[in-house]
Structure 1
Amino acid sequence: MTTSTIHTAPSDDPDSVFERACRLIETELGGHRLPSEPRTWLDDLARTRQHKTAFITAFWNTCFPSGLVEACRGVEAVYPYLGRDGLCTDAALTAAWKVLEPDAHTWPERLQTERRRAADDCLNRALAEANRAVADHV
């Protein structure tokens, strides 16, 4: 993992050369900017809460659960299985699948495969949307 060691940007312009270089490092090399101040457990808790809220909204809008409660259940089921970087894992997909399609085991195998692939796509879109929403507020 690569990290940018500059704590403050020389310009607050979001399209500055510095910002583009940092985004390139973050996206191409998987790097993360160092925070300007030490983070506390309260900062992590607030960020987790903000991410879960954004994820519930994105899950509701992209995965089309039967209701808002179902969207909350889906996110709660998926969240412990997300990868270290907040990415979808096979276990997370399985957890979402069990919430979205609880009776899927009665379907033909071909339909299960097809619908699971669609659930994987919508779950990844929801995660990407939630990650963007949280990144925009950092």
Structure 2
Amino acid sequence: MTATTAQSTPPDSTEAAYARACRLIETELGGRRLAPEPRTGLDDLTRTRRHKIALFNAIEFHCCLSSRLEAHRVVKAMYPYLDPHGFSTDAALTAAWNILEPDAHTWPKKVQNERRRLTDDRVTRALVEANTAVADHA
């Protein structure tokens, strides 16, 4: 003999399918939800866009730039080289360096090293600020 449970409340049409399934499992089986609702591609695109905007604003604030266009170029150059969690890599810092200091190859080595260290610190600080801004909205 099988037992069924009658639904006591009418289904909420605005409730997501995942949430309905979890509620049903919780009701029928006495289970509990272990994982959050799965992310969709649109969620990832929204997060990426929010991260790029936050990074643009932070780069513009922390780095000495001649224009907003330069900040856009830095973000565009860095973004493919960031790791999946939005953290800096050597390639991302090099991409930013190439945009921020295009004539660095003409400088003495000591000056290059000092400026590179300063630029890396500023870009890293901007990236941390952008990551924090995005994490606050998650």
TM range (shorter): 0.7 to 0.9
Aligned position for 1:98 = 98
Higher mean C-alpha displacement, 104-113 vs 35-44: 35-44
Q: Spell out, residue by residue over 1:31-82, the C-alpha distance to the aligned partner (whole angstroms, 9 max, x if none).
A: xxx9621111011000000000000000000012211000000000001111
Q: Secondary structure at the match of 2:98?
A: helix
Aligned position for 1:59 = 59
Check 1:38–1:80 CA distance in 2 against 1; reply closer, same or farther (3 A cut). same
Length, aligned pairs only: 105
Query: How far apart, CA to CA, are the structure 1 residues paired with 2:84 and 2:137?
Result: 20
Q: Which runs of 4+ in 1 moved over 3 A?
A: none
Aligned position for 1:127 = 127
Aligned position for 1:109 = 109
Query: How far apart, CA to CA, are the structure 2 residues paired with 1:65 and 1:72?
Result: 10
Aligned position for 2:84 = 84
Superposed CA RMSD in Å reads 1.3
The letter for the 2-side match of 1:64 is C
TM-score by length of 1: 0.73
Aligned position for 1:22 = none
Q: Secondary structure at the match of 1:88?
A: coil
Query: How far apart, CA to CA, are the structure 1 residues paired with 2:35 and 2:135?
Result: 13
Rg larger in structure? 2
Q: Spell out, residue by residue over 1:106-136, the C-alpha distance to the aligned partner (whole angstroms, 9 max, x if none).
A: 0001000000000110011001000111111
Q: Secondary structure at the match of 2:134?
A: helix
The letter for the 2-side match of 1:129 is E
What runs of 5+ residues in structure 1 fail to find an aligned partner? 1-33
TM-score by length of 2: 0.73
The letter for the 2-side match of 1:72 is H
Q: Secondary structure at the match of 1:87?
A: coil
Alpha-carbon offset, residue 85 of structure 1: 2.3
